Amino acid sequence: MQLTQIQKIKGTIVLQSGLHIGAGDSEMRIGGTDSPVVKHPVTGQPYIPGSSLKGKIRSLLEWRHGLVQAANGAPYSFSHLAKDENNLAGRTVIQLFGGAPDKADDKLVEKIGPTRLAFWDCPLNTDWKEKELDSRHLLTTEVKSENSINRIAGTAEHPRFIERVIAGAQFDFTLTLKVLSGEDLLDTVLLGLKLLELDSLGGSGSRGYGKLKFEKLTLDGADLTPRFDAITPFEQTA
């Protein structure tokens, strides 16, 4: 097994609805939000953590390939693959995302090799920020009020205030893919990105948050859009 290439996939994430990836907040502030979004500690601007992308894409691929039940809801790992080494989809997921090698066969861990994918944090796109925010004096986030409705009285209860990155915001997306001995795992990576477009990122996806689209995808500078557009996540087979 030999490392033959490290490919770089780049593009733009465009939010089609407000995005909430929570930062946690240890302080209570009068008039503050109940749940702020994660922000860069220096610039104060929101960003998309690579860990959020990695976790959601991995989860979607595990659901797509029927791996969730085999792992009893936990991330699919070496111990699960060891019980079914011929599971090509499971093997690919672990090759791309890694897996806890606890109690796994050392030979299997050696056979799989290192984690192929590395996700980078996604900062705000500079051109979009200058054109859409700075020139128009807009804010990158909004505070959305939510509540539950008492079914009998018809009154609002338990109000809460959720911070979201505004729809239309653009982020620079980058990941790297290690290629070992000429293998080609790119289509599975693109399948994961396509599934994310169809689903959502961050919290409250069932309430319309976190809808996004990947644009201007490139692979080592070459246009990746035709290959990405050709991915059909739920293609029917005879």
Per residue in 185-216, pLDDT (tens digit) is 999 999 999 999 999 999 888 888 999 999 99
- Give phi and psi for 70, each to the nearest 5: -60, -30
Other CB atoms within 10 Å distance of the CB of residue 217? 20
pLDDT tens per residue across span 40-98: 989 899 999 999 999 999 999 999 999 998 888 888 888 888 888 889 999 999 999 98
Give the contacts of 92 (CB within 8 A, at least 6 positions apart).
185, 188
Asked if pLDDT for residue 119 goes beyond 80, the answer is yes
pTM of the model: 0.86
The full length of the chain comes to 238
Of 93-102, 139-148, 151-160, the one with minimum mean pLDDT is 151-160
More confident residue, 174 or 206: 174
What is the spatial distance between Cα 85 and Cα 183, in angstroms, rounded to a whole number?
A: 18
d(CA 48, CA 40): 10
Q: What is the DSSP string of 26-59?
A: S---TT--SBPBPB-TTT--B-B-HHHHHHHHHH
Of the pLDDT bands very low, low, confident and very high (cuts 50, 70, 90), residue 238 is very low
Asked if 196 contacts 213 with a C-beta cutoff of 8 angstroms, the reply is: no
Category of 183 on φ-ψ map: left (φ > 0), alpha (ψ -120 to 50) or beta: beta
Q: What is the pLDDT of residue 104?
A: 63
Could you give the CA distance from residue 20 to residue 9 in angstroms, rounded to a whole number? 24
Give strand pairing partners of 174. 10
Residue 91: exposure state from Cβ atoms within 10 A (0-12, 13-18, ≥19): middle
Of 220 and 134, the structure prediction assigns the larger pLDDT to 220
- Distance, CA of 216 to CA of 214 (rounded, Å): 7
Q: Is 51 helix (H, G, I), strand (E, B) or coil?
A: helix
- Please state, in angstroms and rounded to a whole number, the distance separating the CA atoms of residues 58 and 94: 9
